[in-house]
Structures are given as structure tokens and as C-alpha cells.
Amino acid sequence: MVIALGLVLAPQAALAMDPPWGQEQKLRDRMVLESAKVCADGKGHYTVLIPHSPEFDGGTLYYGDGKTFTQVPPVGYPTSTEGGFFEPRFFNPKANDNFRGMDYRVVSDVKLSDDFKTCALRCGEKNLPQQPVPADQAKELLRKATYQPSPVKFQPYALLRDDKGTYYLVERGIGADNKSFRIFTGQRGQVKLQKMLNVVTDSQGEIFSTQGGDLRLVVDREEPSFWVVKSKRQKLRAVPVGENLPFIYNELGVYTGARLGTPCDDV
């Protein structure tokens, strides 16, 4: 089974970050700025592609309104003409479901022609023409803008369901916050965040205790998981996260109307 990286919106506002070039405009910073390509949708939205190169190892994408740009974590290394990004809300059934461990059915991209006369945004199966921004205008736009990190701070960790159609979604924090968890429970389209009081995690699984101390979600590595209400156990069926990302993002109800900071937010 291939599990694509799923990113979940954090509730708090993102803090400002330094742009990928410094105030002093050193040689390396200038080269990054020179390599950046900007595409516009004609509606006040811009996608910025900074290719992976020996001068700039990272390679990254940004999306914004021209005044503020949000970093979009790329999938793989962006080139000078293409950058892919994780986008679980838009599904492309024709894409490879296992390319180097990544499910590309939930990867969208921005593509530029070799001569940079055309560019396009693809969100799932939707292809959306964009207009290249002339180099001089792009540089001025990028110099004046402010930058912020991706708003996504959690990723789907486990999804379970009982025989009455109640879902239990567990999220886990990304990076330094990987010991943080959140639980949402409820029917499809109506899941609610549960306030947790304690988390026990080890090689055998996890136990999440919610407010009041009488509700527990147990995710077991070997045995069926269960939901405990006042010592009464309700067995749960594990639902593969990687195979259900479009369902989690579009139908479960956690992210309805949420912005993930990608170029597909405004599609």
C-alpha cells in the first residue's frame, strides 16, 4: 500500500518568514531571484516557481496575491519548467499511483513551456491556463512581497469507522510537532474535534483519552482498534489513509472550505 503524505490545516495563523533571497542581495540571492518564474491567473493570484539548482538546493513553490506569498511544499525537486505539489482535494485517476513511493493521483503541478511563453496550472484533471509574468515585473513583485510558511501543521495519521458509519480521524503533527495529535469524530460531513487530555503511544499502538476521561480511542498495531465509552468497547474498522485522501479532504467535513495554501485553493 502506498501512503501519500497528507497535510492538514493548522488552526493558528502562520507567522511571517524570510523570503528565499536576503535584503543584501548577495550573489546567491540574486541568482535565486533571477531563476524564479511567476505565472498569473488574471484574477489576482500568482504562482512562483523556484527551480532546484546547484545554487539553490531547495527548489520551492509559492502561491499568493502578489503582496503575500505562502510556501507550497513541493513534491520532488522543481525544475525550471515544472513543479509538483501535494493536492488531495483534486484527484487524477490516470496518474501513476506508485512512483518512487508517491501516489501521483493526488499530486497537481504548474508547468511552463521551455521558452516561458506559456504556463498552466493543473489541479487533478483540471487544466487551467496561466499568463507568464515578464521577468522585470516578476522581480519587482517578489522583492516587495512578504512571505509565510505553509499553513499545514498536521497530517492524517489514522482513519477508522464503526458499523454505524461514525468516523474517527486521527491527525499527527508534522516535523517538530510530531508528538501532537488531534481527533475528529462523527458521521461523514459532520465530524467534530474532540478535546484530548492524554496520549499514550508505544510500539503496540496509541491510546487517546478525551475530555471527561470516559472516551478513549485505541489504535492497535495487531488487533482491531476500538472506541471506549464508560468501559464499553466499540470495535472499529481501519480505513487506509493513503487510499482515501480525497474522501478525507472533500467529504469527511474536517477541511470543508479550508485553504491549504496551494495554487488550487482558488480553483
Average pLDDT over residues 232-253: 92
For the chain, how many structural domains are there in total? Answer: 2
Do both 159 and 178 map to the same domain? yes
Q: In what order do the strands lie in the sheet with 68-72?
A: 74-75, 82-86, 107-112, 119-123, 126-132, 37-40, 46-50, 60-64, 68-72, 146-148
User: Which band of pLDDT confidence, cut at 50, 70 and 90, is reported for residue 57?
Assistant: low
Last residue of a domain, one of 121, 148, 175: 148
Q: Which of 73-77, 194-198, 246-250 has the lowest mean pLDDT?
A: 194-198
**Confidence check: pLDDT of 165 > 60:** yes
| Shared-domain flag, residues 105 and 186 | no
The predicted model gives 121-131 an average pLDDT of: 97
| Lowest mean per-residue pLDDT among 124-133, 145-154, 241-250, 258-267 | 145-154
User: What whole-number distance in Å separates Cα of residue 174 and Cα of residue 16?
Assistant: 18
161 shares a domain with 83: no
Of the ranges 48-62, 76-90, 166-180, which one carries the lowest mean pLDDT score? Answer: 48-62
Q: Is there a domain that residue 267 lies in?
A: no
Confidence class for position 201, pLDDT limits 50, 70, 90: confident
pLDDT of residue 24: 40
pLDDT of residue 12: 44
Which of 84 and 1 is assigned the larger pLDDT? 84
Domain boundary among 94, 125, 148: 148
Q: How far apart are CA 216 and CA 260, in angstroms?
A: 30
Is 264 a member of any domain? no
Q: Which domain holds residue 140?
A: 27-148
| Predicted local distance difference test score (pLDDT) of residue 73 | 92
Which residues are within 8 A (CB) of 81 and not within 5 positions of it... i.e. 6 or more apart? 111, 112, 113, 114, 116
> Is 15 within a domain?
no
pTM of the entire predicted model: 0.84
What pLDDT was estimated at residue 21?
Answer: 58
